[in-house]
Amino acid sequence: MNDQTLAQPETQTDWWKGGVIYQIYPRSFQDSDGDGIGDLNGITRRLEYIASLGVDAIWISPFFTSPMKDFGYDVSDYCDIDPMFGSLGDFDGMLAKAHKLGLKVMIDLVLSHTSDEHPWFQESRASRDNPKSEWYVWSDPQEDGTPPNNWLSIFGGPAWQWDSRRQQYYLHNFLVAQPDLNFHCEEVQLALLDVAKFWLDRGVDGFRLDTINFYIHDRELRSNPALPYELRNDSIAPQVNPYNHQEHLYSKNQPENLAFLERLRALTDQYDARACLGEVGDAQRGMQILGEYTKGEKRVHMCYAFEFLENRKATADWVVETFRRFDTHAPDGWACWAFSNHDVRRHATRWDLSDGANRAYVMLMMCLRGSACLYQGEELGLHEADVPFEALQDPYGKEFWPEFKGRDGCRTPMVWEIQDEMAGFTTSSDPWLPVSPAQSEFSVDRLEDDPGSLLHHYRRAVALRHDYPALAHGSQTGMSAEGDLLTFTRTDGDEEIFCAFNLSDIAAHLTIPEGQWTAIAGVHSDLEAGAMDLPGWGYVIAKREGE
């Protein structure tokens, strides 16, 4: 592991600012007990590999007790580990080893909703006058028996489910089995803060906050307006989903959420060097919400929106437009950029990337202002796996197949060993999702033996960010696009770094800013000439020398 990895943020407290976070989807990372499902001890076994990438932290998707209808994002006990992943003791062992290796550990808190098997919901649905009767979002039907408004579920159909016991509807923004908590109830907020405290006391370094803008709904349950056709896109939900037909003005994004986020931040600030990363799911107002949620030092530390998780390729123009919007809506905020995660097709497939393009994009991410999330396997160049319908697990994909095949293609098991039938992921012959033979060709052991592989390139890219404070947390100026050529400058104190990326496979002419420059990555031509031709997917990152 690069010794400089741990010292680069402005202070140890600010490790997250410009930090690189590696996302682990635990079901698919490493199986340690042969049941075909990844687990905490499997993560522990592979921590040296993660540390060797030079990243600052890991983010682990949910491992809490759950009926697994949405694979852990339907929590039935926030303060225990689902047996398929191990035990609290296993978590403590993993956490201790991660810290010994210099890795921070962030866990995925799903606060907007629970499982319908959570004891809170079981009590709430029992009657209209029990102590937890107001812990979830309940409403009487309209006079004709239909739901109280037109809100839709991201997973398809109405966002309301009839409950015969209470003879009321309850709100679910996701699966029917994921009822929404009522954040207008003070007891709910206190209970969720206690959950956060439980894990902070246990030693976690922060939280990835799932669907952070879904926490609070409109008290009056007003219907959402229709969204004009020209504004509809598939950055949050696929085009085949009518969810895209609404402007979600009242079902989420409520201003009262800011007060809860400040309570959560105040709690985390009672502990040393902790951080909160929020997921903002909104196709129209994502950047504005990011700005609101990260403004100042009383809300969450950082958020990510979906600009670079969309099907739209990160062209030079789109990168410039994204940062223009960021500078407009979040001048005092902090973003965390990701190209892939467990909810979207892998970007190597989504953007149809060659090996050279993959290399350019990770170097670009390490040069952009903000923090960065890497998703397990992207450092190997993994493309989306082809999962046949009969092997599909994702309820989202089953609902909209075949136009939308769901999220299983990015969740197939990690490939560790090329010679093993199960790619070193499990000893089971029946893993929870099939191991992709096409992905196995990109196994860790095969790429480790090749100094020129994409895996080693990722290590160099991450190390570059840590070697230069300007890239980690400096200012960013002069971003512009000329065709496919993207240029900008990063500055921290006396350190100035010029970055240029050719985001196409056709050579582009680059003019170097005046001054004396030394190339620190990419094309090492004679910069003193003042100009060069960048080859397709070429880049140059240069440091200004003292005058």
CA distance 320 to 338: 16
Sign of the C-alpha dihedral computed for residues 68, 254, 231 and 302 taken in this order: negative
Walk along the chain (547 residues) and give the pLDDT tens digit of each residue.
333 333 333 347 899 999 999 999 999 999 999 999 999 999 999 999 999 999 999 999 999 999 999 999 999 999 999 999 999 999 999 999 999 999 999 999 999 999 999 999 999 999 999 999 999 999 999 999 999 999 999 999 999 999 999 999 999 999 999 999 999 999 999 999 999 999 999 999 999 999 999 999 999 999 999 999 877 876 677 788 899 999 999 999 999 999 999 999 999 999 999 999 999 999 889 999 999 999 999 999 999 989 999 999 999 999 999 999 999 999 999 999 999 999 999 999 999 999 999 999 999 999 999 999 999 999 999 999 999 999 999 999 999 999 999 999 999 999 999 999 999 999 999 999 999 999 999 999 999 999 999 999 999 999 999 999 999 999 999 999 999 999 999 999 999 999 999 999 999 999 999 999 999 999 887 788 889 999 999 999 999 997 5
Question: Token pair of 373, please?
Answer: 């999330």
User: Helix or strand or coil: residue 538?
Assistant: coil
- DSSP lists the bridge partners of residue 374 as 22
Homologous superfamily in CATH for domain 3-114+207-388+453-465: Glycosidases (3.20.20.80)
Given a contact cutoff of 8 angstroms between Cβ atoms, the answer to whether 244 and 233 are in contact is yes
Q: Is 389 exposed, middle or buried (0-12, 13-18, 19+ CB in 10 A)?
A: exposed
CA distance 124 to 232: 36
The amino acid at 483: G
Determine the angle formed by the axes of helices 257-268 and 286-294, rounding to 10 degrees: 50
Given a contact cutoff of 8 angstroms between Cβ atoms, the answer to whether 405 and 55 are in contact is no
Question: Token pair of 359, please?
Answer: 């290399």
Task: Mark whether 210 is an active-site residue.
Answer: yes
- What is residue 103's predicted lDDT score, i.e. its pLDDT? 98
CA 145 to centroid of chain Cα atoms: 39
Task: Mark whether 533 is an active-site residue.
Answer: no
CA distance 148 to 522: 58
- What is residue 8's predicted lDDT score, i.e. its pLDDT? 33
CA distance 372 to 140: 44
Nearest of 415, 392, 391 to residue 404 by alpha carbon: 392
Nearest of 399, 75, 409, 408 to residue 243 by alpha carbon: 399
- What is residue 547's predicted lDDT score, i.e. its pLDDT? 57
What residues contact residue 29 under an 8 Å CB cut-off, 6+ apart?
Answer: 38, 42, 43, 46, 376, 413, 414
Question: Is 475-544 a domain of CATH 2.60.40.1180?
Answer: yes
CA distance 328 to 291: 9
CA distance 411 to 391: 12
Sign of the C-alpha dihedral computed for residues 325, 331, 332 and 338 taken in this order: positive
- What is residue 446's predicted lDDT score, i.e. its pLDDT? 98
- Show the beta-strand stretches assigned E in 311-462: 336-338, 371-375
- What is residue 226's predicted lDDT score, i.e. its pLDDT? 95
CA 272 to centroid of chain Cα atoms: 23
DSSP helix, strand, coil percent of the chain (3-state; round to 5): 30, 20, 50
User: Helix or strand or coil: residue 149?
Assistant: coil
CA distance 545 to 288: 38
Residue of 108, 218, 279, 384 marked active site: 279
CA distance 523 to 474: 23
- What is residue 1's predicted lDDT score, i.e. its pLDDT? 33
Q: Per residue in 56-105, pLDDT tens?
A: 999 999 999 999 999 999 999 999 999 999 999 999 999 999 999 999 99
Which DSSP category does 517 fall into? E
CA distance 22 to 189: 29
Which DSSP category does 512 fall into? P
CA distance 433 to 37: 9
What residues contact residue 381 under an 8 Å CB cut-off, 6+ apart?
Answer: 348, 355, 358, 442, 454
Nearest of 23, 5, 62, 17 to residue 335 by alpha carbon: 17
Q: How many CB atoms lie within 10 A of CB 89?
A: 10
Given a contact cutoff of 8 angstroms between Cβ atoms, the answer to whether 300 and 212 are in contact is yes
Residue of 56, 210, 310, 343 marked active site: 210
Backbone angles phi, psi at 196, to 5 degrees: -60, -40
> Which H/E stretch holds residue 262?
helix 257-268
Query: How many residues would you count in the chain?
Result: 547
Given a contact cutoff of 8 angstroms between Cβ atoms, the answer to whether 97 and 52 are in contact is no
Domains 3-114+207-388+453-465 and 475-544 share a fold: no
Q: How many CB atoms lie within 10 A of CB 403?
A: 9
Kind of pairing, strands 475-482 and 485-492?
A: antiparallel
Map out the domains of the chain as residue ranges: 3-114+207-388+453-465, 389-441, 475-544
DSSP secondary structure letters along 176-221: TTSPBB-TTSHHHHHHHHHHHHHHHHHT--EEEETTGGGS---TT-
Question: Token pair of 497, please?
Answer: 């770094």
